[in-house]
Structure 1
Amino acid sequence: MDDPPEFDDILIPTDGSKSARNGAEQAVKFAQRNDATLHVLYAMDMGDADYVAVPSDIAQTRKRLETKGETYVAEIEEIAADADVSCVTSVRANTPVEAILEYVDEHDIDLVVMGKRGRSDPDKPLVGSITNRVVGSLEIPVFTA
Structure 2
Amino acid sequence: MDEPRDFDDILVPTDGSKAARNGAEQAIKFARRNDATLHVLYAMDMGDADYVAVPSDIAQTRGRLEKKGQKFVSEIDDLATDAGVDCVTTVRANTPVEAILEYVDDHDIDLVVMGKRGRSDPDKPLIGSITNRVVGSLDIPVFTA
The C-alpha deviation readout for 1:84-137, integer Å capped at 9, x for no partner, is 000000000000000000000000000000000100110123200000000000
* CA–CA distance in structure 1, aligned partners of residues 48 and 83 of structure 2: 38
Pairwise CA distance, 1:81: 0.3
Amino acid at match of 1:128: G
Amino acid at match of 1:50: D
Amino acid at match of 1:73: V
The C-alpha deviation readout for 1:8-41, integer Å capped at 9, x for no partner, is 0000000000000000000000000100000000
- Secondary structure at the aligned position of 1:143 is classed as strand
Q: What value does the CA root-mean-square deviation take over the aligned residues?
A: 0.8
After superposition, where does 1:80-119 map in structure 2 within 5 Å?
80-119=80-119
Indicate the residue corresponding to 2:21 in structure 1.
21
- Secondary structure at the aligned position of 2:85 is classed as coil
The C-alpha deviation readout for 1:32-63, integer Å capped at 9, x for no partner, is 01000000000000123123111111011000
- Secondary structure at the aligned position of 2:50 is classed as helix
After superposition, where does 1:1-145 map in structure 2 within 5 Å?
1-145=1-145
- Structure 2: gaps (5+ residues): none
Name the stretch that deviates more: 45-54 or 90-99: 45-54
* CA–CA distance in structure 1, aligned partners of residues 98 and 6 of structure 2: 25
Per the normalisation by structure 2, the TM-score is 0.97
Pairwise CA distance, 1:2: 3.4
**Identity between Structure 1 and Structure 2 (%):** 84
Amino acid at match of 2:105: D
* CA–CA distance in structure 2, aligned partners of residues 124 and 74 of structure 1: 27
* CA–CA distance in structure 1, aligned partners of residues 62 and 125 of structure 2: 30
- Secondary structure at the aligned position of 1:51 is classed as coil
Structure 1 residue ranges, 4+ long, deviating more than 6 angstroms after superposition: none
Amino acid at match of 1:124: K
Per the normalisation by structure 1, the TM-score is 0.97
* CA–CA distance in structure 1, aligned partners of residues 104 and 2 of structure 2: 25
